[in-house]
Copies of this chain bind each other. A is one copy, B any other.
Amino acid sequence: MTIDKLETAEESVAGNGLLSRRLLLGLGISGTAAALSPNLLAAEASRFNIPSWSKQPGPGPSAYGQPSPFVADIQRDPGRANPLYPGGGASRTPLHALRGTLTPNGLHFERHHAGVPAIDPAEHKLIINGLVDRALAFSYDDLLRYPMVSRIQFLECSGNSGALFGATPPQGTAQSINGLVSCAEWTGIPLSVLLNEAGIDPTARWLSCVGADAASMGRSIPLDKALDDVLVALFQNGEPLRPEQGFPLRLFVPGWEGNVSVKWLTQLKLAREPSQFRDETSKYTDTLADRKSLQFSFPMGVKSIITSPSGKMQLQPGLYQIEGLAWSGAGRIAKVEVSADGGASWAPAHIDAQSGDKSLARFRVPWRYSGAPAQLISRATDSEGKLQPTRDALLAEVGSLAFYHFNAQQCWAVDNKGEVSNAYV
């Protein structure tokens, strides 16, 4: 058990209703569950104990399972197709409706530059060429014979939460504002194994990585990183990659902005310089206040978001679990703190689950909503000691022309009617 000390009394640990993270009991007693007298219990039993689904056998086993129709609203938000950008766009993970630290494959966020190619793995090749001793071509079947490793790690689009750079707070949900982050067990071949097999020319410094989609999505990564912890991933949460995640194979670059984890990977070319691909010049560069741009800003910063309560939710006065997710491209999450008074005071959150290095961590702290306005903020500290910045501090550092790599603290304001909305503090 990760929860080892229980407390039944509500002990205030920070302003505006934040309670000790060890508070676990009392929810039912305070009105969540119905305490049943013998008579009430009999009444409940007659009402509930023989529902229709308990009277007749249901369907038997199936070949591939699907979610219950009763949770059909837990979906990604693909939006409407844009005829000027065929296949382009994104869909976001419904973070407000999920629990734990993993994202099921059907709900992993998407970002496509020319839609999802329907690749026949028997006709797909991965070619390694450029500054190598011998160019190599691998079929999918070749790659399946290699030893693989598995890691549970997050993937975040560098544009996630980018709307929060805007001058006025965008109104939306945890999904629509922050849903370009997901986490899975990625299984694949260490890229170093394949590169060493091709033989690396000592003058090589960069690796150009190209996908087989109609955008020929390409990114360059420094060879040092490629040889460190990058995978050629073939499996996600145990099964072959989904088409929208790069089937049959993709790069997985731990801790770095999502788009360098090139999907539908078909070519790796070693070179002395980066390739200046379209998506590392026209896009995915960070424009600073002086209008100069940082072309490469790969690592994702330390970040946390509150997933519940979150935007568009409606609260009643009472006891809640403030919970959310935290992650860092630099390693593990060491600490998360939560404020209910806009940052004036902070309570330590309990970290319920964290699967490993660069995985999502799930945090939680109990909170009593009195009905008075509250401003809920979380801030994470990673294993390198980096603290998630305030929005003001981030803007002071990168200016207001930036769009990528927003990792600042975010505030959900709860008004005196219990409505939750995004706010700047």
Contact = CB atoms under 8 A, between A and B. Distances in A.
* Range, interface on chain A: 35 or more
Contacts of A216: 54
Contacts of A183: 238
Nearest to A95: B238
Contacts of A106: 64-66, 239
B104 A237 contact: yes
Contacts of A215: 57
A49 B267 CA distance: 9
A67 B136 contact: no
Contacts of A78: 60-63
Nearest to A245: B65
A101 B102 CA distance: 13
Interface in A355-407: 355-356, 362, 364, 366
- Copies of this chain in the oligomer: 2
A134 interface: yes
A117 B54 contact: yes
Contact of A70 (B38, B67, B121, B352): B121
A353 B76 CA distance: 30
Interface string A46-76: 0011010111111111111111111100111
A127 B45 CA distance: 9
A281 interface: no
Given A29-B197, A320-B145, A137 B36 contact: yes
Given A117-B53, A147-B3, A107 B62 contact: no
A89 interface: yes
A28 interface: yes
Given A145-B27, A321-B147, A120 B70 contact: yes
A229 B122 CA distance: 46
A235 interface: yes
Interface in A1-49: 1-3, 6, 24-29, 32-38, 41, 44-45, 48-49
Given A25-B196, A53-B117, A88-B60, A150 B36 contact: no
Nearest to A26: B197
A100 B35 contact: no
A87 to B, nearest CB: 4
Contacts of A38: 135
Given A41-B135, A148-B352, A238-B98, A61 B48 contact: no
Which of A77, A145, A213, A319 is the most central at the interface, judged by chain B CB atoms within 10 Å of its CB? A145
A202 interface: no
A25 B63 contact: no
A106 B41 CA distance: 37
Contacts of A99: 148, 150, 187, 234-235, 238
B33 A61 contact: no
A134 B33 CA distance: 11
A229 B193 CA distance: 41
Nearest to A24: B193
A65 B108 contact: yes
Contacts of A261: none
B239 A104 contact: yes
A356 B351 CA distance: 16
A140 to B, nearest CB: 9
A237 B44 contact: no
Contacts of A187: 99-100, 353
12 contacts: A28-B198, A29-B197, A34-B138, A41-B127, A58-B114, A58-B117, A60-B87, A67-B239, A71-B247, A104-B239, A149-B353, A151-B353
